[in-house]
Amino acid sequence: MENKKEFIIRTDLALEKSEIVKEQKGTLGDGVETIEEEKGTCKITTVNILNEKGSEMLGRPCGTYITIESEFLNKNDASCHEEAAKCTAQCLNRIEKFKNAKSILVVGLGNWNITPDALGPKVVERMLVTRHIMDTVPDELKNGGVRPLAALSPGVMGITGIETFEIIKGVTEKTKPDVIVAVDALAARSVKRINQTIQISDTGVAPGAGVGNKRAELSEKTLGVPVIAIGVPTVVDAATMAGDTIDRIIHEMKVSSEKGSEFYAMLDDLSHEEKYSLIYEILQPYEENMFVTPKDVDFVIDNLSEIIANAVNIASHPGFTIEDIKKYCI
């Protein structure tokens, strides 16, 4: 029998990794804690990875991962978008390294020519950059109202021929920000979280990791500056979608079958390897290169980039409201 690769569920969301561990083991143990809360139309889940045991369990560095979920993020609802931006700004300010920073560099990761990967560059287009005009800012705004903020969209190596890390490292050494905010598109395990979820973490980011194209890590360890990552899952791995579909089909067949029957027992005994064999046979021609995104992704990415840009702008410049930001940023 032909050897088959292990079926890996791709996700960049710490929340989803914690859900997978709970499904498999029934508990997260003492290495991870989760806190849930509701704010208007937004559900906020904080996953704290407390030690090496938790880090190994979730496959993520120790730190804080804040997930904001709202079914209105990908809909045309201005009031809910504003609420989501304010909620995201509040969550961003929970991270002390951002809240206490005197200067900020916002980096929009991704390829501006590919819509599901263009979130970062589109956020940068809407940032209220102030680093170059701080000498002219009134004193009353300088004192806590406006911070020096610069923004950069380094593109991808296929366009520039330069590793993204090298560009950011050079700019960081020259401009010396106190914190870097890196915005990137992510991959999710669940279709329902596509374009409906924002994740904030204080552990940095590995660009392209969710789609199997991992680049050099952007973190305090590699850059010498704290890196806050903000991301939205815009794609889901086709193999993961097929796996979820097969699980649902099996569940429905079990519900429709008589418990204790031979057919029910066969479904109940279907192993992980047998499920993977079905997925492999369906997707084998595409191997690991197929990712799925909604058909209205252009419209959704525009909305999401505005939400995140507004959040970072008002969190970075407490002296401004969203209404003020809209006057200066397109």
Q: Of the given ranges (123-127, 172-176, 236-240), which has the lowest mean pLDDT?
A: 236-240
- Which amino acid does the sequence have at 222? T
Helix ranges, 93-128 (H) = 96-99, 119-125
pTM as predicted = 0.85
Q: Are residues 161 and 252 in the same domain?
A: no
Mean pLDDT of 73-87: 93
Mean pLDDT of 249-265: 77
Residue 3 pLDDT > 80: no
pLDDT, residue 1, reads 39
**Tokens 């794609």, located at residue:** 235
Q: Are residues 130 and 166 in the same domain?
A: yes
Q: Are residues 19 and 137 in the same domain?
A: yes
pLDDT, residue 210, reads 47
Q: Are residues 217 and 195 in the same domain?
A: yes
Residue at 8 is within a domain: no
pLDDT, residue 246, reads 75
What pLDDT digit, counting tens, does each position of 188-245 carry? 988 889 999 999 999 999 765 544 555 688 999 999 999 999 999 999 877 777 777 7
**In the chain, helix, strand, coil percent, each to 5?**
45, 20, 35
Q: Are residues 110 and 157 in the same domain?
A: yes
Q: Are residues 50 and 166 in the same domain?
A: yes
Residue at 94 is within a domain: yes
Residue at 5 is within a domain: no
Q: Are residues 106 and 42 in the same domain?
A: yes
329 near 128, Cβ under 8 Å?
yes
Mean pLDDT of 139-158: 87
Mean pLDDT of 20-29: 84
Last residue within a domain, chosen from 286, 301, 318:
286
pLDDT, residue 330, reads 62
Higher per-residue pLDDT: 111 or 29 = 111
Most confidently modeled of 78-82, 190-194, 272-276, 283-287?
78-82
In this structure, the strands spanning 42-49 and 197-201 are unpaired
Q: Are residues 169 and 281 in the same domain?
A: no
Residue at 53 is within a domain: yes
Mean of all residue pLDDT scores within the chain: 87
125 near 308, Cβ under 8 Å?
no
Q: Are residues 165 and 42 in the same domain?
A: yes
Residue at 3 is within a domain: no
Label residue 96 exposed, middle or buried (CB < 10 Å: 0-12, 13-18, 19+).
exposed
Q: Provide the pLDDT confidence category of residue 6 given band limits of 50, 70 and 90.
A: low
Residue at 120 is within a domain: yes
Mean pLDDT of 145-172: 94
pLDDT, residue 280, reads 62
Considering just the CA atoms, what is the radius of gyration of the chain in Å?
21
Residue 256 pLDDT > 70: yes
**Distances, alpha carbon 10 to alpha carbons 115, 220, 236, 267, 308, in Å:** 20, 25, 8, 25, 24
What pLDDT digit, counting tens, does each position of 281-309 carry? 666 655 556 678 888 889 999 999 999 99
Q: Are residues 154 and 253 in the same domain?
A: no
Q: Are residues 38 and 123 in the same domain?
A: yes
CA 35 to chain centre: 18
What six digits make up the tokens of 83? 């609420």
pLDDT, residue 141, reads 74
Q: Are residues 188 and 277 in the same domain?
A: no
CATH number of the domain residue 185 falls in: 3.40.50.1450
Residue at 7 is within a domain: no
Domain that holds residue 64: 14-240+288-328
CA 229 to chain centre: 8
Residue at 1 is within a domain: no
What pLDDT digit, counting tens, does each position of 27-68 carry? 888 899 999 999 999 999 999 999 999 999 998 999 999 999
Domain count, the chain: 2
